[in-house]
Amino acid sequence: MGLAVGDALGRPAEGMSPAAIAAKWGRITDFVTDNPAGTDDTEYTVFYARLLLKYGTALRSADVAEAWRREICVQTGPFKGAGFSELATIENLRAGLEPPASGQHCHSWSDGLAMRAAPSGVFAPGNPALAAHLTAVDGAVSHSGEGIYGGQAVAAGVSAAMGGAACEDVWEAALSQVPADSWTARALRTAGEIGLKAADPWSALEPLYNALAVPYYYWTDLAPEAVGLAFGVYLAARGRFVDAVLAGVNCGRDADTIAAMAGALAGATEGIDAIPERWSRVITAVSGRCIHAVAGTHILQVADALADAAVGGREGAQ
């Protein structure tokens, strides 16, 4: 739910700069559309969660590829709001490529895996290594390199938070599951240096943006950038859900994904009661706007099912 709420809050600000957001809204503190809804971030998260529920720890990249071909690649209507990494993967799978080749394309570094990685952490509470492994298995279908690392960082962080870890330990868990010399690791270290010293996420926004954003690059979905910003606002907010998510929204760039990842981390840290009811009550079943196969799936039903199926059960999970 934290991920889905963050996604919906950030959707109108996607692709904007912090300055453009400030000029239009001052500061986004609530939904700014009449019909708030999530994007492909939430729908791909639900799709991946269903695979975890079906296969559990036995999940293989071949299973993921087969599910994409069976439920996504056959879709004839437009994939509204889909990222380039997902569209490239669909074409690769349609052409007969198998993972990891299907994920080796010119957008493989995107945050498309990181945006859907939270279910791994819910399924493997307190086990960051397992969560990161499962996300890498999923990610081999659609990503490679930094795209995989970004997903592993989010999965590991959510897992640690679900196990009751403090914010700094959540960050360290994420760092432990990515190569130390990677762009993702460097972004995470910078996020920690700024976020942990900040008095609040609002004072951290400009330093985080200046240190991590790549505004001269046209596309906003760079995984190291988005993951770094998400962890930065989460740490600066000390895991507080509302502050972390709203700061993520006001980062701009890939705002829906940044806020979704921050929402997943903070939701795992604080639990469902920290999410304002005025937000959660409007985020119910996904529309299937991007992936028709998941239309009508209810967010909390998926969350409950993951918690029930989790390795070790609900104990240790929020």
Give the CATH number of the domain where residue 236 resides.
1.10.4080.10
pLDDT tens for each residue of 222-248: 999 999 999 999 999 999 999 999 999
Look at the chain and report how many structural domains it folds into. Answer: 1
Whole domain around residue 129: which residue ranges? 2-28+38-309
Split at pLDDT 50, 70, 90, the class of 218 is confident
- Torsion angle in degrees (nearest 10) through CA of 225, 230, 233, 235: -110
Residue 11: exposure state from Cβ atoms within 10 A (0-12, 13-18, ≥19): buried
Going by pLDDT thresholds of 50, 70 and 90, the confidence category of residue 317 is very low
Q: Is residue 294 part of a domain?
A: yes
Specify whether the CB–CB gap between 41 and 256 falls below 8 A: yes
Interval 73-117: pLDDT, tens: 999 989 999 999 999 999 999 999 999 999 999 999 999 999 999
Please tell me the chain's helix, strand, coil percentages from 3-state DSSP, rounded to the nearest 5.
Answer: 65, 0, 35
- Helix (H), strand (E) at residue 210: helix 201-212
Query: Considering the entire predicted model, what is its pTM?
Result: 0.97
Do 250 and 18 contact (CB within 8 A), yes or no?
Answer: yes
pLDDT over 70 percentage in the chain: 98
The reply to whether 271 falls in a domain is yes
Extended strands (E) in 76-170: none
pLDDT score for 77 = 86
pLDDT over 90 at 318, yes or no: no
